[in-house]
Structure 1
């Protein structure tokens, strides 16, 4: 059974690269493109947090239309940048689980966490996306966090 932690994640200003197409290896390409841009901007440093946001449910959206956003948190007062759009990650309550950063572990987590949430007192918030969260320390340990939005 997965160890779910409830966490309040603040709204976060982000820069992102969007990819449209089947989820999988292309998501990695979007993240690499974002990291290259972030390095050039001096943003990919210790406190930076990377996020992967699958915007669509592949069970109800054709694979060719699935959107994935590779994102990085931005410091306050970051100047606007023409090459990469900016946005805001919605804050709120999230059920967070830490997993190995492998395709197998991600698939297993998705298969286990939704039933676990339905058995718990938490209800998934359909108005906010599920977030993959990566910090420098976690990446160095080959870990990531899946953050499932829940209603307060």
Structure 2
């Protein structure tokens, strides 16, 4: 077996582990259990996981629990802080409070009262600085302080834009679908468009996957998770007998109830649409998120404007009653 094939096997196994973690954050997750999910020995799994993710298992699990809690604190304002803590696997409010403040620098109550916007602004400033450094490293250092202030101001004003987005939301039932996907890790936005164009499209052509429904799964909220750890899966619906080949992976998007909002645009404001759905519509809906992933659904007959690059998709979030 070639080195490339071995790497693909390791990646598939680790993706299964990450998927299992996200689906069971409210439960005790033992190292031995996850080693079984990955089909590795318990003795070697911890070292393999750390080498593959860049984080120890304990650090990764703590980060995912806190990031999901941060999202639920905003999306479910009626839920008590203790309920949110328990929903992501913390055994007590005290343990959660210590961990949350250590991660985000504020209490859960302060996060709900507006500190989440400050955190998102800091992440946006970091992303913008990194973009400038890559595109024009000579000017990056000289503009650093100026840009930091400008980015913070712009982000503080940005919530007004998504508050005004006209968005019709429908609650729909979706059947489970098998997908094949390629994973991108890094900042959301334009890099994801480039990923679809340069990497995913050639792979779809090689595997005769054009003309099938597509999905984009954003596993992380870029307003909470640092850009270097944001995961995005570019997915194509495949038949039950499809066998993964090359660098792709397969999984199933679970069925059930989803809130779906139709989006049409160039993608420049799709982040605002996501924010509106998660932080405005959901808290007022009487619903809450569960462990299924959020995704964008690109129907076969979706509109596309070749002149402007505008496209159509449904933004979907999994929901269950409070």
Q: TM-score, normalised by structure 1?
A: 0.88
Pairing 1:1-152 to 2, within 5 Å after superposition: 1-32=166-197, 33-45=199-211, 48-114=212-278, 115-125=280-290, 127-140=291-304, 142-151=311-320
Return structure 1 stretches of 4+ with deviation > 4 angstroms: none
Once the two structures are superposed, residues 97-123 of structure 1 have per-residue CA deviations (whole angstroms, 9 ceiling, x without a partner) of 101132343123123212111111222
Report the number of matched residues.
149
More strand, by proportion: 1
Higher relative contact order (CA 8 A, sep 6+): 1
Alpha-carbon distance in structure 2 between the residues aligned to 1:94 and 1:18: 23
1:137 is paired with a residue of what secondary structure? Answer: coil
More helix, by proportion: 2
8 Å CA contact 1:101, 1:144 repeated in 2: no
The CA RMSD over aligned residues, in Å, is 1.7
8 Å CA contact 2:180, 2:244 repeated in 1: no
Unaligned runs of 5+ in 2: 1-165, 306-310
Q: CA deviation at 1:51?
A: 0.6
